[in-house]
Amino acid sequence: MATADERRALAFLVTLALVAGGVRYVGVQRFEREVRAAAGGSPRPDLSARALAAQIAAVDSAQRAPKKRKTRVRSASLSRKPAAPTLGANDAPLPQRVDVNAATAEELERLPRVGPALASRIVAWRLRNGPFRQSEDLRHVRGIGPSTVRLLDTLVTFSGRPRP
């Protein structure tokens, strides 16, 4: 036999379920009314009905759009190491090697995948934390991941002394 507290808890849960069902029913009815009003050319349909109509139009246009084919690039040899790039981000020839601890932001921008924002973040990190010791230290700079470190590894040096 259930105790008085258990009966009250059960009654609360049943009441909660009934209220939630009623709210859901009223919401669905209101939504259907708005959709019907929007379809019938009502002068000012509700925002949710207009959003629904926009979503439907977007899906329809996406389904009508021609499919784009993906092309795959096949490499001749997977074990071959990629050649070092010869041009930087601004298509200027790369210097022999860039000293990351002494280079200005403009000099760093000549490296591949290094634009003005990343170059300034490298310089700012160097000023805050001191000189870089090895190429893996570049990973501490936001925006430089493992593939960028591998790419820059042969193009940079580390003098241990920051630029004044």
Is residue 41 assigned to a domain? yes
pLDDT tens per residue, range 34-61: 777 766 655 555 677 778 888 888 888 7
What CATH number is attached to the domain comprising 114? 1.10.150.320
Is residue 150 assigned to a domain? yes
Q: Domain range holding 12? A: 4-60
The answer for residues whose C-beta is within 8 angstroms of residue 45's C-beta and 6 or more apart is 34, 37, 38, 53
Is residue 12 assigned to a domain? yes
Find which of 20-24, 60-64, 144-148 is predicted with most confidence, using mean pLDDT. 144-148
Is residue 91 assigned to a domain? no
pLDDT tens per residue, range 54-78: 888 888 877 777 766 666 665 554 4
- Indicate whether this model's pTM tops 0.75: no
Is residue 52 assigned to a domain? yes
